[in-house]
Structure 1
Amino acid sequence: MRRACVPYARRALVFGLPAVWLVAATVWQLTCPFATHEGMAPRFVTCAAFLALFAWLLTSVRLGPVRELRRVREVARAAEQVLLRPLPPRLDGLALAAGQLSASRGATVGGDLYEAVATAQGVRIVIGDVRGHGLAAVGAVAALLGSFREAAHDELELAGVLRKLERALQRHLRERSRSEHPSVSGTEPDNPLAEEFATVLLLEIHEDGDVLALNCGHPWPYRLCRTAEPIAGGDVLPPLGMFPLPDSLSARRCTRLLPGEALVLHTDGAEDARNADGEFFCLRRALVEAAALGSPVSPAVVVQRVHTALLRHTGGRLTDDVALLVLRNDRRRVPAQPGDQGLRRSCAESSNR
């Protein structure tokens, strides 16, 4: 009860004191004998009263909501970091860096997702893109990431992880469809269940550098070492949510990551971004320029330079979320590169391939 009275007391203080001060200044102006004199003193006192009133309103009425908005943004930022938590700079011999640009103003998490975990089977990585962008897709992102973080450790095969992701997305879409059903909301759903889907790329990196993959409609990554080469990983399954997964499902070897080489995983927002003239952003060219800075490449520098080039190309106006995840094979130690925050120094050079 006491806490409930605090906002009302604060409002009374904010609006009551200025009102009392204004009434007092007006009464003084009308009744004080000095108010009838034509000197500067009465005018000065009156101006000071109204200036003080204006300052009070500015600090109490305007800055109060600003402070409240700042607190709300801090809470939202903390929630976003829990959902799409920062990746460790090193994971089981791999150097990592990731980043995301959201098309929704004021948001750092949109419809893109990524995660990497070290398991007994190897380092497992997921990157995906939920249909749409911004806050409307955050629910599906949370469902997929939560399922992956558990299934990556529990499932012996990568195919089992993908099937759990499919079930998690189906549960989320059923719950969302039920909440938007006309019997509940009285209107037709904005996004019918049949139109919801997500592209997903699952990778499993073994100790010897072999990379297994399962791809559901997602762009293949680039291999980065002095140049950028797109990986031809083979057949691609339909996006999750469009069609059921086939009964027979097994991961395939898509490439081998040698010491010092890097993989660049991305969402389609990077290659679909356009400038004011309608020209597409050339992700491969940006990666080649980043790779030319030094060997081995720095994952953090690659992410930073691609984001800078992308924002410069689009003028800061993104129409889709963009996620980028870069990993470098450091299982045979290579020197730490500038921008690899948190990485320990290593004096050994990568061995000859």
Structure 2
Amino acid sequence: MAVVCGVDLAAGPSLGFLPLVSLGPAFAGLAGGWRRTASIGGAALLVCLGLSLYDDLFDGRRGLVALLSVVGVTAAGLVAAVTRTRREAELADVLAIAEAAQRVLLRPVPLVAGPLRVAVSYTSAVAKARIGGDLYEVVASPQGVRAIVGDVQGKGLEAVETAAVVLGAFREAAHEAPDLVALGARLERALERHLPGEKFVTAVLAELAGDGRMTLLDYGHPAPLVVRADGTADFAVPPERALPLGLTSYGQDGPLPYEVPFAVGDQMLLYTDGVSEARDAEGTFYPLLPRASLLEEADIERALAAVRQDLVAHVGGPLHDDAAMLLVRYKPEHGG
């Protein structure tokens, strides 16, 4: 508006810049509220009226057309500002509901579960996303500490629905199932009952029994990374590959449980393929095993944060898939 006013005063009315004063209320309606739009529209009207009188434009009706253009654009800006404000309020309500849903779906894991210290990390591939298709949970049951990390097929609300079914079934069955095979069967039945069709979830179940035995059950999920107290690391690969949860209708037997040595001072990282399949600009996968030394940090939260930061640095930008990580550390008996 100031530029248009300056040009009009310097060059005169012959260039016909006066109607461009209406750009002020137009942009105000896109960026500000209705009060700001109305005030800028009023200022534009005064500027237009003053320049029309200064340039003596009312005789040829050019001044009147300019005034009407300012009034019309201001009215349209007011409608746009009110509509945008309402939509922003609705979006804020939706985000608040989504954040509450995430707290229910992916509630904070316990910092200490039995003899384990626990840390979790979730990085969404979508900016400002609250929930996604990756899932995790840790439950202290009578049979020992049980954990799950999984990755749901697909994206969006359907993936969230599937994740909610799996987590709900896990939280209930983890306290009752006598072993991981029975626990996995409960999850399968929950998927069949609530989500008909070919929905599937890759997942790994883990159980640390009271006698210190770590048992895993892998449903087509990336093998956990085990880091020993002496710094050596390797993947806990299952004895054979199995189908994901939800695909038992194809007739293949479920996965076989297998034990992994897990002594005091050892730690295990369970993760989704958003970590292992993250690529840099040259297409190189994230080297998780060589980065195991990052987990030697004494504080478990800082250790997992170091891996997350290194993962983002490797990709060099936003992740292309959700990345969930669950780190469990067998703390020494003296609590250090």
**TM-score in same-fold range (> 0.5):** yes
| 1:263-291 deviation line (CA, Å, top 9, x unaligned) | 11111221111111111110112222332
Q: Which has the larger radius of gyration?
A: 2
Give the Cα–Cα distance (whole angstroms) in 2 for the partners of residues 269 and 17 of structure 1: 45
Structure 1, gaps ≥5 residues long: 1-13, 39-45, 175-192, 336-353
Report the secondary structure of 1:313's partner residue: helix
**Alignment equivalent of 1:235, drawn from 228, 235, 240:** 240
The answer to whether the aligner puts 1:118 opposite 2:121 as a matched pair is no
Q: 1:91 — aligned with what?
A: 113
1:257 aligns with 2:262: yes
TM-score (norm 2): 0.72
**Secondary structure in 1 aligned to 2:248?**
coil
Separation of aligned partners in 2, 1:228 and 1:254: 16
SS at match of 1:110: coil
| 2:243 counterpart of 1:221 | no
- Matched to 2:205, the amino acid is L
Secondary structure in 2 matching 1:169: helix
State the shift of 1:135 in Å: 3.6
> Amino acid of the residue matched to residue 280 of structure 2?
N
Distance 1:29 1:110 in 2: 52
- On the 8 A contact 1:103/1:133 being kept in 2, the answer is no
Are the aligned partners of 1:212 and 1:253 in contact in 2 as well (CA < 8 Å)? Answer: yes
Work out whether residues 202 and 245 of structure 2, in 8 Å CA contact, stay in contact via their aligned partners in 1.
yes
Three-state SS of the structure 1 residue aligned to 2:238 is: coil
Superposition map of 1:13-92 within 5 A: 65-92=87-114
How many Å separate the matches in 1 of 2:323 and 2:263?
27
Q: Identify the range of structure 1 (225-234 vs 200-209) with the bigger mean alpha-carbon deviation.
A: 225-234
CA distance in 1 between counterparts of 2:136 and 2:116 reads 16
How far apart, in 1, do the equivalents of 2:321 and 2:294 lie?
23
Aligned to 1:153, the other structure's residue is in SS state coil
SS class of match (1:277): coil
TM score, norm. by length of structure 1: 0.69
Q: Which deviations, in whole Å up to 9, do the C-alpha atoms of 1:153-185 show, x marking residues without a partner?
A: 1222221111111111122332xxxxxxxxxxx
The answer to whether the 8 Å contact 1:163/1:245 transfers is no
Among 281, 284, 287, the alignment partner of 1:282 is 287
Q: What letter matches 1:73 in structure 2?
A: L
Q: 1:60 to 1:271 in 2, by over 3 A?
A: same
C-alpha distance in 2 between matches for 1:251 and 1:331: 30
CA spacing shift, 1:23–1:105, aligned 2, 3 Å: closer
Call closer, same or farther: CA 1:15–1:288 in 2, change over 3 Å.
closer
The correspondence for 2:201, drawn from 198, 203, 226, is: 198
2:322 alignment counterpart:
321
The CA deviation at 1:325 is: 0.3
SS in structure 2 opposite 1:154? coil
Provide the aligned C-alpha RMSD in A.
3.6
Q: Post-superposition shift, 1:59? A: 8.2
Alignment partner, residue 302 of structure 2: 301
* 1:172-202 deviation per Cα after TM superposition (whole angstroms, max 9, x unaligned): 332xxxxxxxxxxxxxxxxxx34x3211211
1:207 aligns with 2:210: yes
Percent identity at matched positions? Answer: 35
Q: Which residue of 1 aligns with 2:278?
A: 273
Once the two structures are superposed, residues 55-85 of structure 1 have per-residue CA deviations (whole angstroms, 9 ceiling, x without a partner) of x969867666445433432221121121111
User: How many residues were matched structurally?
Assistant: 285
Preserved CA contact (<8 Å) 1:232 1:254: no
Give how far 1:244 is off. 4.0
For 2:212 and 2:42, the matched residues in 1 are separated by: 79
Q: CA distance change for structure 1 residues 230 and 103 in 2, over 3 Å: closer, same or farther?
A: same
Cα distance between partner residues in 1 of 2:221 and 2:200: 12
CA contact (8 A) 1:234 1:254 kept: no
CA distance in 2, matches of 1:117, 1:23: 63
